[in-house]
Structure 1
C-alpha cells in the first residue's frame, strides 16, 4: 500500500506561496533569500527523498510549474529522477499534461487517491500542491508531513494549512538542522486507534 507524503518548503509563519519569486507575488522569492548557502544541503535531502519515491501526486498548476522548470532545462541526476518518476495529476480539466510520465486522475479526488494508495507500494510524494494537500488532509489520506522550515517570516501569502472540520493530530517522527539555518521536520499522522 502506498503512503501519501506532503513534502514542502515553508516559512516560519507557514507561507508556501511563490518561493522562487517567479509567480508575481510581491513577497515571493523567499526560498533563495532565506535559504542561502544551505540550499546545497537542502538539495541533498530532496534528492534522497526523490530516490525513495514511488510516484509524485500533483495538482494541475503544480504539474505546469514543475514542467516549466524541470523538464526542458535542468540536467543531472536530480532532474533525471524527477522527470522519470511516474506522476499522477489530479484535474478535471487537464487534457495535455505538461510534464513527463503523467497519468491524469479525472474522477472524484478522494476515490482516485484512495485507489492510487491501494495500487502503489511506497512513497507517493505531494510537492507544491497545496489545495490538493488540504483536501487529502481533510479526508485523512495523508500519512506523513515532511517540512523544510526556512528562517523567514513572510508576513502574508498562501499558507500550507487551511481550515479543517476537526483536529488532525500528528506525532513528531524526526527533526534535524540542515546546513546552518534550515530545519527539516517529519510528522506522522496519529490514527484514531493510536
Structure 2
C-alpha cells in the first residue's frame, strides 16, 4: 500500500498561508504572502526537488492545483523535479473545477476520503500533498496522512491559516528525522503513531 505524505512550509506559529507570493491567498486580509522566499537556501531547494522527483503522484486542492498548473507546465523540463511534476499523476480534489488542463490531472469524485483511500490502496509509492490547506483539513481529520515532512521557518507571522487548525481531534506523531538548513529552517519528519 502506498503512503500519503504531507509536505508543507509552516511558520513557527503554524501558518501555511500564501507561502510563495503576495497574491497566492489573501483570504482574511492576509498581506504577508511570500514569507518563505528569504529563507529558501540550497538545502531547502534540494529537499523540495527530492520530494517532488521521488513522488509517485500528487494530491492537490483546487487553489494549489490552479497555481501549479499556471507555472509548472512552462518550467524547464530538463530539471528532474519539473519533469516529474509534469508527468506524474495529479489527483485534484475540487467541487468547482470541471476541466483540468495540466497533463495527467485527474479530478476526484465527490467523496475525497474514499478516493484517497482508494489511491493509497492502489499505489506502491508515495502520494505527496503540497499546500492544499482546505483539503489537508479533511485528510488530517480522517487520519489519512501517514507522514508529515514539515519545513518550519524561523518567523512568527501572528495571523493566517494554520496547518493544524483549532477544533481538530488530537493526533500523536513520532519525530523520525530532523535537520536544520543554513537559513535556520528546520526540516522535520513525523510519522503517525500506530500504538495508541
Question: TM-score, normalization: structure 2?
Answer: 0.90
Distance 1:105 1:13 in 2: 32
Unaligned runs of 5+ in 1: none
**1:163 aligned to 2:170?**
no
1:57 corresponds to: 59
Residue 147 of structure 1: CA displacement? Answer: 0.4
Distance 2:75 2:168 in 1: 41
Match runs of 1:109-188 below 5 Å:
109-188=112-191
Distance 2:167 2:144 in 1: 13
* Counterparts in 2 of 1:10 and 1:141: CA distance versus 1, 3 Å: same
Residue 74 of structure 1: CA displacement? Answer: 4.5
**1:82 aligned to 2:82?**
no
Q: Secondary structure of the residue that 1:97 maps to in structure 2?
A: coil
* Counterparts in 2 of 1:165 and 1:181: CA distance versus 1, 3 Å: closer
Question: TM-score, normalization: structure 1?
Answer: 0.91
2:48 corresponds to: 46
Q: Secondary structure of the residue that 1:48 maps to in structure 2?
A: helix
Distance 1:110 1:185 in 2: 26
Q: Secondary structure of the residue that 1:41 maps to in structure 2?
A: helix
- The question of whether the paired residues in 2 share the 8 Å contact of 1:12 and 1:149 is answered with yes
Residue 77 of structure 1: CA displacement? Answer: 2.4
Residue 164 of structure 1: CA displacement? Answer: 4.4
Aligned length: 190
Q: Secondary structure of the residue that 1:30 maps to in structure 2?
A: coil
Distance 2:69 2:105 in 1: 11
Distance 2:62 2:15 in 1: 20
- Comparing 21-30 with 112-121, which one deviates more in the overlay? 21-30
Residue 66 of structure 1: CA displacement? Answer: 0.7
Residue 44 of structure 1: CA displacement? Answer: 0.6
Offset from partner CA, 1:69-120 (integer Å, 9 cap, x none): 2222444222112111111001222111143210110231111111111111
- The question of whether the paired residues in 2 share the 8 Å contact of 1:172 and 1:188 is answered with yes
